[in-house]
Amino acid sequence: MLSATPSRCLATLVASPGSRQGKTVLTAALARRYFRAGRRVQVFKIGPDYLDPTILQSASGQAVYNLDLWMMGKDHCRTLLCQGAARNDIVLVESMMGLHDHEPSNARLARLFNLPVTLVLNVAKFAQTAAAVVEGMEKYGPGVSVDQVIGNRVGSNNHDRLMHEAIGERYTGSIRRDDRMILPERHLGLVQGPEHRDLDHRLDDMASALGEFGIDPGLREVSFSPGSPALPPEPRLAGKTIAIAKDAAFSFIYPANIDLLKSMGASTVCFSPLANDPVPSCDALWIPGGYPELHLGRLTRADVTRQSMQEFQGSGKPILAECGGMMALCNRITARTGEKGDGFALLDAECTLQSGFQSVGLQCVDYGQGEIRGHSFHHSVVHLKSAPSRFCTRQNGERGEAVIQCGKTTLTYLHHYFPSNPKAVAALLA
């Protein structure tokens, strides 16, 4: 249990003016540097994100938790930060998009929890203008404390000199244009950590490169208050076993979701559809999101998994399929290349990948037990042959993703954040 007194540790929020500035690269390099030095590092990622955390987990050596004031609530975020500070030497928080983007913004979270900000700027196309960017980011919206600024994609010693002169003493150093400081991407974002054959070597190189560039941020000690003690969730899933599809095709899982299932008394068992595993003996089945479109051949050949999933649905036990999980339960999936693959045919629908995002953003859904909050983030379209059972609601109040419910089977593009409503999650899976 947490102490009633605040927890203290070194901490910073790594932010930028927008995406593709170098936040993940810097956060991962710092985490690996501290990890190699024997420091205990807890990394958090602001916003709903499954991709960056896989890199940051490998860098820090432990699970990465998300922070989002709308999806999770202030008290839950405060508890996670306090726990991280109590158990670690350093807390690194990577923001999403730009410092003032998102609602509530990264800046608001930084101010709420007194997190100092480390700004990383991609200055490949400018130099002195960086000073104006920093000044504007400090003055706009919620006031934040920018402790230090790091330039990224700095091209020369003269470029580095100009940056130091423009920013002044808060300029901590320059990440040079170096292939070691690049992480590969695909259509939804960064390539996930487990897909890198050489990730440990790459992370070590990134950490070493920071030393070569002379970048050594001075982190400030922060005190994190535990806030109001949260009541432990009721054991609504006591004695239940939840089977979870988990492999390279189904990997979009919040660590906090697993934590909550276990805290409600459930045991979890994972299986791999890509390995053609049958559904294990269980009381409920959860098929999370991921990249089924990248593994159409193996999913088509997964006849044992397909038959066992169909038999499980026939048993009347609960199934929750989110985003990629729902895609995989369609009759067929068509990739952007035109490649087609067979799904597991629990949903009489066709799924087609599109060239751009079909939905991005925070949403919630009410199954009759109050809101479960989460997000959607996908390129595909599921062509339904029957009307949806209900719809999610976007953060702005507009109609969101469709929800299909057939008996105890629930399918939707929404990625549910289970701790946002434990009672509703238990009702969905019990």
Cα–Cα distances in angstroms (integers) from residue 218 to residues 30, 54, 173, 212, in the given order: 11, 26, 12, 17
Beta bridge partner(s), residue 362: 375
- 205 CB-contact burial (10 Å; exposed 0-12 / middle 13-18 / buried 19+): middle
Structure tokens at 331: 């009759």
Q: Which residues, in sequence order, are CB contacts of 320 under 8 Å at separation 6+?
A: 284, 285, 286, 287, 410, 416, 428, 429
∠ CA 316-320-324, rounded to 5°: 135
- Please give the torsion angle defined by the CA atoms of residues 135, 139, 142 and 143, in that order, rounded to the nearest 10 degrees: 70
Q: Which residues contact 398 (CB under 8 A, 6 or more apart)?
A: none
304 HSE (CA, 13 A, CB side): 10
Whole-Å CA distances, 49 to 25, 97, 374? 15, 11, 11
Is-contact 321 410, C-beta < 8 A?
A: yes
> The tokens of 294 are what?
């990248």
The secondary element (H helix, E strand) that includes residue 307 is: helix 303-314
The single residue of 9, 82, 323, 330 carrying the catalytic annotation is 323
120, β-bridge pairs: 150
Question: Among this protein's residues, is 9 annotated catalytic?
Answer: no
Strands 171-176 vs 185-186: parallel, antiparallel or unpaired: unpaired
Contact criterion met (CB below 8 Å) for 323 and 363 = no
Please list the active-site residues: 323
